[in-house]
Amino acid sequence: MCGIVGYTGKRKALGILLSGLQSLEYRGYDSAGISLKTKSGIETVKTKGKVIDLISLIAESRLDTSAKIGIGHTRWATHGKPSTENAHPHFTEAVSVVHNGIIENYRSIEKFLNNKGISRKTDTDTETIALLIDHYLKASLDFKNAFFESVKKLKGSFAIVALSKDFDYLMLAKHESPLVIGISEGETFIASDVSAMIEYTNNFIFLEDGDVALVDRDRITIFNEKLEETKRNTVQINWSKEKAQKGGYKHFMLKEIAEEDEAVRNTIQSRIDENGRILLDDEIKLDKEFLKNIDRITVVACGTSFYAGLTAKPILEKFTGVKVDVEIGSEFRYYDYLYSKNNLFLAISQSGETADTKEPLKMAKKRGIKTLSIVNVKESAIARLSDSCIYTLAGPEISVASTKAFTSQLAVLFMLAFYISQLKGKREAFEAAKKLLKIPSLIKQTFDLTEKTIKELADKYYKYQNFLYLGRGICFPLALEGALKLKEISYIHAEGYPAGEMKHGPIALIDENTPSVVVAHPKEPLYSKSISNCEEIKSRHGKIILVSSRKSTIVDDIIEVPEVDYDFAPFIYIIPLQLFAYHVAYLRGNDIDQPRNLAKSVTVE
């Protein structure tokens, strides 16, 4: 990941490619590159850094700028560190490729290539695609059929655009990662995002999962997953460039909630194999014997990241078999924490710059404690300070109110629990990891299933000034996070509470003007008691919104979510809570992406 552009037509490609890459810079990236089909073959320029660095490098090069067909990419590193070598495009003498997504089976493809005497030169999964196409070209297939054969071998999520030195067309493939074709007279544009093409055309074809396409300046041939020719509708979109960057959504927050399935998929796919084995050896540089013998995990974080830690606590304890403390960063540094002999300190931060998390991390390091961090932003301060870092691969999060960072952090925490458990030889962790691979599709299903209902509920409840959020077990931290989201962007007072504590104080708040949002999984150990809480609220004229996969006649309204194993409920149940906060804030006319008084990265204490 992160941004793809391509062009074939009557104009010089270079300026269009660079303009497209600049339009995609808002998505965040660590390197950039382009390939052009020139008279002398494929010419490629790429670099670690920003598009402006790429432009400077091109200006100093002898690149043939007259080329009228080319591809480009801005990369957010997944496989391999940010570097010029790992930047896209990846190429051979005959072919060049850009790719978003994860090739899950790249190791088996690499083994296939190695048996043919072909080896990778970079750390990326993407290079195996280029090498595979090149292999089939050398087997006397034309570009189209070499591409077909290569795509058949791929497993994972991908948007691919490939360029050949011998053929005047581009080949495309899409599966679970966006890819769009822009159409204009005598020229065709390709991008991962409409924003890269909106200044050139407003006519687009949105490829569907499984599609493969052959594209030249005035011909587009699309094949379905069975490689049969098919038709896709052309859609006319009259968006501003800003709206295009939001994918047509009114706000980045809604777009980022809609992207949570993709964000979690990107985070887990390259790190779990088909047997459920967690592949974190290259990222966790801590001694395996230490990890097998840790006797406590101390999680330190703030805000949404703190709630992610709280949510994952029972999973960490269940699979690692050790005590897990989850501490608020802003408080942690002010008391003398009692570390154990084999303590692992775990810092969580979306930005990697959160001062209230960074300072406790420094303190732990001074005490000689082994440290691990979970962050989203590459080369950030917390990542650099830690002994090891696992990056969430959520992509950039523009909205101040964090959404996809939460689910991606959860995904990493779950994988960490399974990884340590597997090091200890526990077989159940392999089966749990396989279940985690199914979560992205359930997240997408939840978004599609609940959004219409939530819009209607927001219209019913947006004028209320106080809310109580209740949950038990693994759903209790979701109540905290749901209340935080409502506070952050709607400016409504909301409290998250353990449902069992309601009668110990908060029940005094219940009346007809204070709705309660109850988060309850049917398989939680005390589900019947959560329903009893609903009875208590009802008897005091309180209104109840139940988030569950089981209906109840007691409540006023239900947001029904798909069925999911109890351990994995947080990934699913958080989606409607985020959507409810969004739609309430929207009806109240608030600045959702930049709520008052808040900053995306809190770098002061």
Catalytic residues: 2, 600
Distance CA 224, CA 230 (A): 6
E strands, 9-79, where? 31-38, 41-48, 69-75
**Cα–Cα dist 76/55, whole Å:** 18
R_g of the chain computed on alpha carbons: 25
Note the helical H segments in 212-347.
241-245, 252-258, 260-269, 288-292, 303-320, 329-332
Are 171 and 144 within 8 A, CB to CB? yes
Q: How many CB atoms lie within 10 A of CB 508?
A: 9
Question: Quick one: CA torsion of 203, 208, 214, 219, rounded to 10 degrees?
Answer: -30
CA dihedral sign of residues 389, 394, 396, 397: negative
Per-residue CA distances from 325 to 158, 516, 519, 570 (Å): 38, 29, 23, 19
Distances (CA, A) of 306 to 89, 101, 436, 494, 547: 38, 28, 21, 18, 22
Residue in the block written with tokens 């996969």: 549
Helix axes 569-587, 404-423, angle to 10 degrees: 170
Q: What is the 3-state secondary structure (H, E, C) of 135-184?
A: HHHHCCCCHHHHHHHHHHHCCEEEEEEEEECCCCCEEEEEECCCCEEEEE
Query: Could you tell me which residues come within 8 angstroms of residue 233 by beta carbon, excluding any fewer than 6 positions away?
Result: 205
CA distance 157 to 78: 13
Element (H, E) at 56: helix 51-60
* Pairing relationship of beta strands 90-91 and 296-301 according to DSSP bridges: unpaired
Contacting residues for 123 by C-beta, under 8 A, at least 6 apart: 79, 80, 81, 85, 86
Pairing of the two strands 69-75 and 2-8: antiparallel
